[in-house]
């Protein structure tokens, strides 16, 4: 396997880990948020996963960048949702820090992937 494939598999695995962690945390949200913030967080995560998979499968650089940018937007939205969750006291500071770290890991890999696409 070449280095590019390794990197895309790593970001995919990190994103799946983010989803697992998120789903565990979202179970603890109050019932009043099940159809609001929880649903929005899940939709954002799964839309991001969809963009990630499309980007991995795409050969056209312009289209790949489009999907990577969609994923980037979803990551920004996730950060916002998590900040709101902490502000409304649905999660602890420990949850906030762990969740933020997972998102930052994905964002760093995503940024490197976007830069490598722009260089070519």
Give the residue extent of every domain in the chain. 3-119
Quick one: which of 7, 77, 11 has its CA closest to 42? 77
Quick one: which of 113, 111, 106 has its CA closest to 19? 106
21-30 pLDDT, tens digit each:
999 999 999 9
Distance of CA 108 to CAs 7, 96, 102, Å?
Answer: 12, 18, 10
25-48 pLDDT, tens digit each:
999 999 999 999 999 999 999 999
Single pTM value for the model: 0.89
Q: Does domain 3-119 have CATH number 3.20.20.70?
A: no
């Amino acid at each position: 396997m070449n280095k590019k494939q390794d990197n895309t598999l790593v970001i995919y695995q990190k994103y799946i880990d983010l989803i697992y962690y998120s789903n565990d945390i979202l179970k603890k949200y109050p019932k009043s948020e099940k159809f609001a913030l929880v649903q929005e967080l899940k939709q954002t995560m799964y839309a991001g996963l969809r963009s990630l998979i499309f980007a991995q499968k795409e050969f056209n650089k312009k289209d790949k960048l489009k999907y990577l940018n969609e994923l980037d937007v979803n990551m920004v939205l996730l950060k916002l949702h998590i900040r709101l969750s902490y502000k409304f006291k649905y999660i602890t500071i420990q949850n906030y820090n762990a969740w933020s770290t997972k998102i930052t890991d994905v964002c760093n890999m995503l940024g490197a992937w976007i830069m490598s696409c722009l260089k070519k």
